[in-house]
Amino acid sequence: MNNDKHLTDIRFDSFEVSEQILAGVRDAGFEYCTPIQAETLPPSLAGHDVAGQAQTGTGKTAAFLVAALHHLDIHPATDRRKRNQPRVLIVAPTRELALQIHRDALVLGKHTGHKTEVVFGGTGYEQQRTALKQGVDILIGTPGRLIDYFKQRVYNLSAIQCVILDEADRMFDLGFIKDIRYLLRRCPAADKRLGMLFSATLSYRVLELAYDHMNNPQSIEVEPERVTADKVKEIGYMTANEEKIPLLIGLLKSMEEAHSIVFINTKRVADQVWGYLQGNGIESAVLSGDVPQKKRMSLLNKFTNGDLDVLVATDVAARGLHITAVSHVINYDLPEDAEDYVHRIGRPGRAGASGDAISFVCEHYAISQPEIEAYTGHSIPMEPVRPEMLAEVDPKSRVHTPRKRRPPRGKNGSHHSGRQRRR
């Protein structure tokens, strides 16, 4: 009997998949299935389309990769297939998620001989283009870059045998749904390929997408993990707005060997919070939507490796990322969406781990508390802010982010080249 509450009693080696796939599963350190794996693998391995509800960190990536690898095994490519014709297409909403899937695919598919490539915007344009031309079996990418190369005829989709959409709800949130439909319409018909879709919620719009472009998909809903007291300790502090910075600094300085994510609702405030942390001896970094790709990857690696103790993040940047080694989540701002609260505080509690989730219930965002408590089904345990918890913070200690230099002004005081002043 498996005692890990996060896992089931279903073993990966109980499925009829090749020894090459099982070797990759063992390399990844997997033995027993998570609930989403146990529910989705039987139908998908049997060739049935699946629309699965699963959050980041539940094991869905391994579920769809094992199914895809098995599908390639039992349906060999034809002699007519060209090397720039991928057999599996995996679409992810963000670069970070695409890269994570790629890393997992390299491990799970190591012994199968399939070539895996990942394409995404922001960097490596020519390198990715060249890699596709050289041949690919499993193509992973973000919608924009995938369509760009497709329209250039760097690859085509006529030999696709399996299509996987990950974080489908985020595709809608980020405005990618037209791009997704564009790609799906250029793949073989739904009854000629295996289709798998995963989403944190199986909303009407997500299910509509599934039924439009999949072959009678089986809907599988694994209840989102409600973060319980034995896994994540929730604490709330009723704070005045002016107390938030002193309380945050005081808490962070009192934590030993902590790896904390501080969630902020806006990029502007995230920069301010970072400035006060840096100015008061707490090394941190901002993870927001406009951080360049290379820097984002570098920050995530530093945090995971223990070289950076605090990430100041917005939901836009952090949602969908499987960030490991999180001991504390601090909601500097309560989220305005109750679902985001569950996503946030679930980070230290994934895969059976434990941690703390601390929320500042301030004057501005206290209005979100009743909705959050109604959604989670329990009250946030509130504790008083004691004077000794507040750090002494000099208002002048804030470090300011470097401003980008403006173009030089012309003689008449206007900027050269007719460029408009940045707001």
Number of structural domains (the chain) is: 2
**Whether residues 340 and 207 fall in one domain:** no
Identify the domain boundary among 166, 186, 221: 221
Tokens of 337: 């969406």
Write the pLDDT tens digit of every residue in 79-103: 899 999 999 999 999 888 899 899 9
Write the pLDDT tens digit of every residue in 351-390: 445 678 999 999 899 999 999 888 888 899 999 999 999 9
**Whether residues 89 and 40 fall in one domain:** yes
Residue 1 lies in a domain: no
- The SS3 call for residue 221 is strand
- CA 31 to the chain's CA centroid: 24
**Whether residues 205 and 287 fall in one domain:** no
| Mean local confidence (pLDDT), 397-406 | 71
The β-bridge relationship of strands 355-362 and 162-165 is unpaired
Q: What is the pLDDT of residue 223?
A: 66
Identify the domain boundary among 221, 243, 262: 221
Write the pLDDT tens digit of every residue in 102-156: 999 999 999 999 999 999 987 889 999 999 999 999 999 999 999 999 999 999 9
Radius of gyration of the chain (CA): 23
**Whether residues 244 and 143 fall in one domain:** no
pLDDT band at 407 (very low <50, low <70, confident <90, very high): low
Q: What is the identity of the amino acid at 423?
A: R
Identify the domain boundary among 221, 240, 257: 221
pTM: 0.66
Tokens of 82: 């060209």
Q: Give the percent of the chain with pLDDT over 70.
A: 87
| Mean local confidence (pLDDT), 180-196 | 95
**Whether residues 154 and 297 fall in one domain:** no
For Cα atoms 234, 8, 195, give the angle at the middle one, nearest 5 degrees: 100
| Mean local confidence (pLDDT), 300-314 | 87
| Order of strands across the sheet that contains 116-119 | 116-119, 138-141, 88-91, 162-165, 194-199, 50-53, 218-221
Residue 275 lies in a domain: yes
pLDDT band at 344 (very low <50, low <70, confident <90, very high): confident
Residue 117 lies in a domain: yes
**Whether residues 154 and 258 fall in one domain:** no
**Whether residues 201 and 237 fall in one domain:** no
- Please provide the average confidence, as pLDDT, over all residues in the chain: 86
**Whether residues 186 and 276 fall in one domain:** no
**Whether residues 240 and 265 fall in one domain:** yes
Q: What is the pLDDT of residue 337?
A: 84
**Whether residues 201 and 181 fall in one domain:** yes
Residue 272 lies in a domain: yes
Question: Which CATH number does the domain housing residue 316 bear?
Answer: 3.40.50.300
Distance CA 404, CA 407 (A): 10
**Whether residues 208 and 324 fall in one domain:** no
Residue 345 lies in a domain: yes
Task: Provide DSSP, 138-189.
Answer: EEEE-HHHHHHHHHTTSS-STT--EEEE-SHHHHHHTT-HHHHHHHHHTSSP
**Whether residues 303 and 392 fall in one domain:** yes
Q: What is the pLDDT of residue 321?
A: 64
Structural domain boundaries enclosing 352: 232-397
Phi then psi dihedrals of residue 143, to 5 deg = -55, -45
Residue 167 lies in a domain: yes
- In this predicted model, which residue has the larger pLDDT, 149 or 323? 149
Distance CA 84, CA 115 (A): 11
Q: Tokens 């290379």 sit at which residue?
A: 294
- In this predicted model, which residue has the larger pLDDT, 347 or 376? 376
Half-sphere exposure of 237 (CA within 13 A, CB side): 24
Distance CA 159, CA 161 (A): 6
Q: Which residues pair with 375 in a beta bridge?
A: none
Q: Which residues pair with 383 in a beta bridge?
A: 237
Distance CA 176, CA 168 (A): 9
Q: What is the pLDDT of residue 224?
A: 57
Q: What is the pLDDT of residue 417?
A: 42
